[in-house]
Amino acid sequence: DADVTQTPRNRITKTGKRIMLECSQTKGHDRMYWYRQDPGLGLRLIYYSFDVKDINKGEISDGYSVSRQAQAKFSLSLESAIPNQTALYFCATNDGTGGVEQFFGPGTRLTVL
Amino acid sequence: GEDVEQSLFLSVREGDSSVINCTYTDSSSTYLYWYKQEPGAGLQLLTYIFSNMDMKQDQRLTVLLNKKDKHLSLRIADTQTGDSAIYFCAGETGANNLFFGTGTRLTVIP
Alpha-carbon distance of A76 to A89, in angstroms, equals: 9
pLDDT band, very low/low/confident/very high, at B88 (cuts 50, 70, 90)? very high
Judge whether residue A13 has pLDDT over 70.
yes
B91 Cβ under 8 Å from any chain A Cβ: no
Alpha-carbon distance of B83 to B98, in angstroms, equals: 23
Of B4, B42, B45, the CB nearest to A90: B42
* A85 φ, ψ (degrees, to nearest 5): -95, 5
Alpha-carbon distance of A87 to B108, in angstroms, equals: 26
Average pLDDT over residues A24-46: 92
A91 to each of B5, B18, B27, B76, how far by Cα in Å?
23, 29, 26, 28
Q: Between chains, do B98 and A41 touch, taking CB under 8 Å as contact?
A: no
pLDDT band, very low/low/confident/very high, at B85 (cuts 50, 70, 90)? very high
Average pLDDT over residues A6-15: 97
Give the pLDDT score at B96.
Answer: 66
Mutate to test the interface with B, among A100, A101, A103 (most CBs of B within 10 A): A100
pLDDT band, very low/low/confident/very high, at B12 (cuts 50, 70, 90)? very high
B22 to each of A3, B8, B19, B75, B97, how far by Cα in Å?
29, 11, 10, 12, 18
pLDDT band, very low/low/confident/very high, at B92 (cuts 50, 70, 90)? confident
Alpha-carbon distance of B57 to B31, in angstroms, equals: 15
Judge whether residue B1 has pLDDT over 60.
no
pLDDT band, very low/low/confident/very high, at B110 (cuts 50, 70, 90)? very high
Convert the pLDDT of each residue in B27-80 to its tens digit.
Answer: 778 889 999 999 888 999 999 999 899 999 999 999 999 999 999 999 999 999
Mutate to test the interface with A, among B32, B97, B105 (most CBs of A within 10 A): B97
Alpha-carbon distance of B99 to A9, in angstroms, equals: 24
Q: How far is A54 from chain B (nearest CA, A)?
A: 13
Q: Between chains, do B103 and A42 touch, taking CB under 8 Å as contact?
A: yes
pLDDT band, very low/low/confident/very high, at A1 (cuts 50, 70, 90)? low
B98 Cβ under 8 Å from any chain A Cβ: yes
Average pLDDT over residues B79-90: 96
Tally of CA atoms within 13 A in the half-sphere of A92 that contains its CB: 28
- Burial label, A36 (beta-carbon count in 10 A; 0-12, 13-18, 19+): buried
Q: How far is B109 from chain A (nearest CA, A)?
A: 22
Alpha-carbon distance of B106 to B110, in angstroms, equals: 13
Report which secondary-structure segment, H or E, holds B22. Answer: strand B18-24
Q: Between chains, do B42 and A100 touch, taking CB under 8 Å as contact?
A: no
Alpha-carbon distance of A106 to A87, in angstroms, equals: 14
As a whole number, the mean pLDDT across chain B is 91
Average pLDDT over residues A51-63: 93
- Spell out which residues of chain A touch residue B1, defining contact as CB-CB under 8 Å: 59
pLDDT band, very low/low/confident/very high, at B93 (cuts 50, 70, 90)? confident
Task: Please give the residue of chain B at the shortest CA–CA distance from A5.
Answer: B42
Task: Please give the residue of chain B at the shortest CA–CA distance from A93.
Answer: B97
Alpha-carbon distance of A38 to B27, in angstroms, equals: 25
Convert the pLDDT of each residue in A60-103 to its tens digit.
Answer: 999 999 999 899 999 999 999 999 999 999 999 998 776 678 99
Query: Which 29-88 residues of chain B touch chain A by CB within 8 A?
Result: 31, 33, 40-45, 48, 88
- Measured CA angle at B41 (ends B28, A90), to 5 deg: 55
